[in-house]
A and B are shown apart, each in its own frame.
Chain A
Amino acid sequence: MSEKVLMKGNEALAEAAVIAGCRHYFAYPITPQNEIPAYMSRRMPEVGGTFLQAESELAAISMVLGAAAGGVRAMTSSSSPGISLKQEGISYIAGSELPCVLVNIMRGGPGLGAIAGAQGDYFQATRGGGNGDYRTIVLAPGSAQELADFTIEAFDLADEYRMPVMILADGYIGQMSEPVVLPKPSGKSFEKPWALTGAKGRKKNIICSMKLIPDTALEEHNLRLQEKYDLITEKVHRADTYMIDDADWLVVAYGTSARIARKAVDRLRGEGIKAGLFRPLTLWPFPEKELYEAGSKVQKILTVEMSLGQMVEDVKLTMNGEVEVDFHGRAGGAVPALDDIIERINGYERENHTHVQAS
């Protein structure tokens, strides 16, 4: 019988990491994710794991790199400005093909910003942030339960594809307390013959991102990485949909924006307006197929974000000009208002009627 426990999103994520077999966690304090290192500082020793508060986010990501090179499951968490600091390390981890889980509990930016939740790091998460041609799988949980469930999956994806996997949630989701059924371990395990375990009885293993010799080595390496990313693009995308089958208007949102949008859809439906919600669960790879299918059937799409327009670009790319894509966003920790979303869609309805009447 699954027990529901009231947990803060951040803590649900931390416990899920422990369940997934993570025994090496390195981080630096930053609001609004401080519950994660606090939880881990207590929990890791209980399970014989390592908790280390690093001297900076820079150091923490390099510690993750080191631990991952040793073949263990390693994780770090931070928030927006701290994630900026980690970009160099993430690029190295991606280039070295090491698995790890990164958590960004987003806050308003740019720069030091503020401490309330935001969704301003979508570009940073999905477009790299660090140098070079690499990608990071990005999962977008929308509740404490999903923070836990997606963490289990994140470790498996990281090990399976040998790359960094980021859990991207806004500060509100990390901070809210909700009922959570703690997930079970997935049961998956992955061989790591490439790990640094000492050159005994085998050739030495070298883990590096610099490929100098021969001249073509780096390009070949990048092409191989790209093959991997193509495979992931095919297999890993996911989305959640709500009332899209007969929808005239589609709202696309993730995280806290999606929770509000879903409420808006309910209210609109109550007034006879056919709205639907499309919620990407993977931001990279972006669920293009699913969105295109859902979006092609509607008259207009509204992307709602706690930013001034980042995911909307992927929505536009996906729809390829075939359906109009509108945007509503708030910045700096402000949360989109339910009424604003409803009013925007009402506006579409009015436009529609005007057209119909005119013709």
Chain B
Amino acid sequence: MYKRPESLSDVRTHYCAGCGHGIIHKLIAEVLDELELREKTIVIAPVGCSVLIYNYLEVDGLEAAHGRAPAVATGIKRARPEMLVISYQGDGDLLAIGTGETVHAANRGEDISVIFVNNAIYGMTGGQLAPTTLVGQKTLTSPAGRNSADVGFPIRACEMLDTLEAPAYIERTSVHNPGAIRKTKKAIFKALKYQKEGRGYSFVEILSMCPTNWGVQPPEAADWVKSDMVPWYPLKKFRDRPADEDADKEKAS
């Protein structure tokens, strides 16, 4: 009844035990299988823990410089519009160094799917403050906890992009328990299906666990997503224009 997806490479990942990336890669692989998109997909790898994502999915892979994945995705989607282009990024990539590229690819309404893995910290480099780190959260570079008077407040990517006109689909989900994971899979399914149908830019933000840098065991990390992250980052569908259009068409006919 449940088998390992074919689009997931048969290798051991380097991710820490309990890391959300593993769950999300698995969901992407399942969706690629279900929508039969594996052979048409190009994944753009960020800089961050998921820099090696191209080793874990059986699709063509392309490395981008830190933060530039949406621009790289733009370039290759414009060159090969028949391909399914996924830009997979973490906090630093998408909301720090890459903020410009993130906003502008969304603003242009590029026909790409952006998967944003938000674990409120910089994992790969040892656990530094991220634009998404919560107020009071202790990190390697905010040892006394994030001080909003000094470095401001965590950025809500979905809400920010929701001010733009062009994006077609924006949703925030999480992977802290089975129900949440099912909703995440639905969101990823939508994002990729919409791109397959040429319906515009999709953005899925996924609240995820980083047990190692949060300094807790994986089950506690999952709990923390629910208890601390969700209140600041509400799980919500911000817009789903393709669904609205389809509903309108239904009504009209």
Contact = CB atoms under 8 A, between A and B. Distances in A.
A243 to B, nearest CB: 46
Given A62-B64, A71-B79, A208 B54 contact: yes
A70 B81 CA distance: 10
A233 B234 CA distance: 58
Contact of A24 (B40, B72, B75): B75
A96 B76 CA distance: 15
A26 B75 CA distance: 8
Nearest to B7: A199
Contact of A62 (B39, B41, B75): B75
Interface residues of A, number: 40
B40 A70 contact: no
A50 B77 CA distance: 11
Nearest to B42: A196
Interface string A212-223: 100000000000
A24 B65 contact: no
Of the candidates B45, B51, B63, the one having the most CB atoms from chain A within 10 angstroms of its own CB is B63
Contacts, number: 137
Interface in B67-122: 68, 71-80, 83, 100-101, 103-104, 108
A78 B73 CA distance: 21
Given A56-B100, A89-B65, A199-B59, A62 B79 contact: no
A72 interface: yes
Contacts of B78: 24, 50, 52, 63, 66-67
Interface centre among A55, A64, A67, A70 (most CB of B within 10 A): A70
Contacts of A88: 65
Interface string A94-126: 001000000000000000000000000000000
A89 B100 CA distance: 15
Nearest to A203: B58
Interface residues of B, number: 36
B54 A196 contact: no
B71 A59 contact: yes
Contacts of B68: 58-59, 62, 65, 89
Contacts of B74: 52, 59, 63, 66
Given A198-B41, A205-B60, A63 B65 contact: no
Nearest to A92: B65
A314 B39 CA distance: 49
A18 to B, nearest CB: 16
Interface in B43-59: 44-45, 51-52, 54-55, 58-59
Nearest to A23: B79
Nearest to B57: A204
Interface of A: 24, 26, 50, 52, 54-56, 58-60, 62-72, 74, 88-89, 92, 96, 196-201, 204-210, 212
What 9 A-B pairs come out closest when comparing CB atoms?
A: A66-B75, A70-B79, A208-B63, A63-B75, A62-B71, A62-B68, A66-B76, A200-B39, A66-B72
20 contacts: A50-B79, A55-B100, A55-B104, A58-B71, A58-B100, A59-B101, A66-B77, A67-B76, A67-B78, A69-B62, A70-B42, A70-B80, A71-B80, A89-B68, A92-B64, A196-B76, A199-B38, A204-B54, A206-B61, A208-B61
